[in-house]
Chains A and B, each alone.
Chain A
Amino acid sequence: MLHQVLFIIFGVVCVAGALNLLLQRHPINSALSLIVVMGALALLFLLLGAEFVAAVQVIVYAGAVMVLFVFVIMLLNAGVEEHTRGSRVAIFLGIPGLIAFFIFMCWAIGSNGSALGQARIGSFYVPTQELGIALFREFLLPFEVTSVLILIAIMGAVVLARRER
């Protein structure tokens, strides 16, 4: 019961933040609503018991990545943006696709509802220690490959930024 109430609260905050992100005309308001989305997502992770993921979500995404976004917006002093009516592809493919996806999800959940069961607070609880052991023993190769990927992205950014000289 408590899980459902909390899930609905944070889910609504999350979706409302995402909608606000699209509707706001000023970039800094959009960036701030993205921070709200990140925070609500972290709380949803916490509800499931993934405490480490929740904390990292706040520290890395809400605390570091979004600060960079806000930093760039402040530095460029970006003004109010203009809203276009959207491309034709978005209207003729996007909206029917969205409706089809929504109907499919309703059908999938409705027909298997009893078999799926219900999540409760902390039903996927993983202590940080076990997460670390899994990450550095069983998933060591994907972990290292991901870090190399990020390193390549950083190097690419440096190369692109220095090109003018």
Chain B
Amino acid sequence: MSLTTYIIFAIIKLAIVLFVLLTAVAYIVLLERKVVARMQNRWGPNRVGPFGLLQPLADGAKFIFKEDIIPDSVYKPLYIAAPMIALILALTSISLIPFGENWKIAGYHVPLEITAFWNGNSIQDINIGLLIILGITSIGVYGVALSGWSSNSKYSLLGSLRASAQLMSYELSLGLSLVGVLLISGSLSLRQIVDSQGGSIVNWNFFGRLQFIAFFIYIMAAYAETNRIPFDLPEAETELVAGYHTEYSSMKFAMFFMAEYCNMVTVACLATILFFGGWHSPFEALHIAAPALWIAISPVFWFVVKVFFFIFLYIWIRGTLPRFRYDQLMAFGWKFLLPLSIANIIVTSLVLALRS
């Protein structure tokens, strides 16, 4: 594939993925409001359009037309840059996620991943994809940290201090929980990690390879990374008004909001790829005959189903659990998750060494 066709396909893929991602983000917000409402015996938004389905459009229009207030005492360059940093970094990581194997369109092989290409006989992707995603998440702290500091407000500063401390503490367990998966698949490339889980549901890291402890560490650390309940102390509204984005209004606030939900989608995608077999169907071992169209679509279908499950899990937990206290949060991260993830690494590598 020549450079020009690669760039053309990359731009088309970028446009489609961004459109789907941003629409998904808008509708995840609606889904969250609806599901949490049903869990609390309410109806949720149901006025705009049938079943309230046009509510995200109304929300978007409201955000755009609201007055954009910049308080006098803020440090302007960073105050304006912070939401952009948060949103750009949240959107960047989706470009490394593989959604499926390969589509043949008009004689061209098109891998279903923005940064991958077809080199003649196989798919070439970034072979340290997982590390790059971890790097992008670790830089994502700056959006939160700088917004709180530059707002020049006590609530914002407290929120962003909490966020930075929390993100750094949980990044450790997050990174270490992935080591077990890496030991099994022997690669940092997301595509190869998925390939190593193919064949049958038994080969998924969660079921057959006994990485469910790593999965629970990952999902808890990831909830803390995305500032979601039960770890949403940076924006605890009972204590901090709204945390780090207290002083933001209009579209700048919406950018933080979108960044948070984009991060949720990325976390759900990574959980799918690392522990639940990526685009592989759970019924693969049965070898059911299917029409060609379904064979082309089914990887994307199963990927989306799994991602949807994790998004729903997020909402479900939000509707169920109360917020941690701050010292409990730190003790949980350092005294429970970290030793557990190290134990998981030791046990996994012992089992692998004894087997080989």
**Are B138 and A71 interface neighbours, CB within 8 A?**
no
**Are B127 and A51 interface neighbours, CB within 8 A?**
yes
Question: Cβ of A97 < 8 Å from any Cβ of B?
Answer: no
Question: Cβ of B135 < 8 Å from any Cβ of A?
Answer: yes
Question: Cβ of A55 < 8 Å from any Cβ of B?
Answer: yes
| Bound CA span A75–B168, Å | 16
Residue of A nearest to B141 (CB): A67
| Interfacial chain B residues near A128, Cβ < 8 Å | 127-128, 188
Interface string of A55-85 (1 = CB under 8 A from B): 1101100111001101100110000000000
**Are A70 and B138 interface neighbours, CB within 8 A?**
no
| Interfacial chain B residues near A127, Cβ < 8 Å | 127
Interface string of A145-158 (1 = CB under 8 A from B): 00000000000000
| Interfacial chain A residues near B127, Cβ < 8 Å | 51, 127-128
**Are B142 and A71 interface neighbours, CB within 8 A?**
no
Question: Cβ of B145 < 8 Å from any Cβ of A?
Answer: yes
In chain B, positions 146-189 with a C-beta closer than 8 Å to chain A are: 146, 148-149, 157, 160-161, 164-165, 167-168, 171, 175, 186, 188
Residue of A nearest to B172 (CB): A64
Partner of A63, one of B128, B138, B188: B138
| Bound CA span A75–B188, Å | 36
Interface residues on B, range: 20 to 34
Question: Cβ of A7 < 8 Å from any Cβ of B?
Answer: no
| Bound CA span A142–B167, Å | 31
| Bound CA span A62–B142, Å | 10
Residue of A nearest to B140 (CB): A63
| Interfacial chain B residues near A32, Cβ < 8 Å | 78, 146
User: Would you give the shortest CB distance from A20 to chain B, in whole angstroms?
Assistant: 13
Given A51-B127, A52-B128, A70-B145, also A59-B188 (CB < 8 A): no
Partner of A64, one of B131, B171, B186: B171
| Interfacial chain A residues near B167, Cβ < 8 Å | 67
Residue of B nearest to A129 (CB): B186
**Are A58 and B149 interface neighbours, CB within 8 A?**
no
**Are A64 and B161 interface neighbours, CB within 8 A?**
no
**Are A58 and B128 interface neighbours, CB within 8 A?**
no
Residue of B nearest to A51 (CB): B128
Question: Cβ of A28 < 8 Å from any Cβ of B?
Answer: yes
| Interfacial chain A residues near B149, Cβ < 8 Å | 28, 70, 74
**Are B161 and A74 interface neighbours, CB within 8 A?**
yes
Q: What count of chain A residues pass the 8 Å CB interface test?
A: 21
Question: Cβ of A35 < 8 Å from any Cβ of B?
Answer: yes
**Are A74 and B160 interface neighbours, CB within 8 A?**
yes
**Are B145 and A71 interface neighbours, CB within 8 A?**
yes
Question: Cβ of B132 < 8 Å from any Cβ of A?
Answer: yes
In chain B, positions 93-140 with a C-beta closer than 8 Å to chain A are: 127-128, 131-132, 134-135, 138-139
**Are A55 and B142 interface neighbours, CB within 8 A?**
no
Given A52-B128, A55-B131, A128-B188, also A71-B161 (CB < 8 A): yes
**Are A67 and B161 interface neighbours, CB within 8 A?**
no
**Are A64 and B128 interface neighbours, CB within 8 A?**
no
| Interfacial chain A residues near B168, Cβ < 8 Å | 64, 67-68
A: residues with CB less than 8 A from B are 28, 32, 35, 51-52, 55-56, 58-59, 62-64, 67-68, 70-71, 74-75, 127-129
16 pairs of residues in contact across A and B, judged by CB atoms under 8 Å: A28-B78, A52-B128, A56-B131, A59-B138, A63-B135, A63-B138, A67-B138, A67-B142, A67-B164, A67-B167, A68-B168, A70-B146, A70-B149, A71-B161, A74-B160, A74-B164
Interchain residue pairs A-B with the least CB separation, the first 7: A63-B138, A55-B131, A58-B135, A74-B149, A59-B135, A51-B128, A71-B164
B: residues with CB less than 8 A from A are 78, 127-128, 131-132, 134-135, 138-139, 141-142, 145-146, 148-149, 157, 160-161, 164-165, 167-168, 171, 175, 186, 188
Taking A62-B139, A67-B142, A74-B149 as given, write out 16 further A-B residue pairs in contact, using a Cβ cutoff of 8 Å, ordered by the A residue number.
Answer: A28-B146, A51-B127, A51-B128, A59-B135, A59-B175, A63-B139, A63-B171, A67-B141, A67-B168, A70-B146, A70-B149, A71-B145, A71-B161, A71-B165, A74-B164, A128-B127
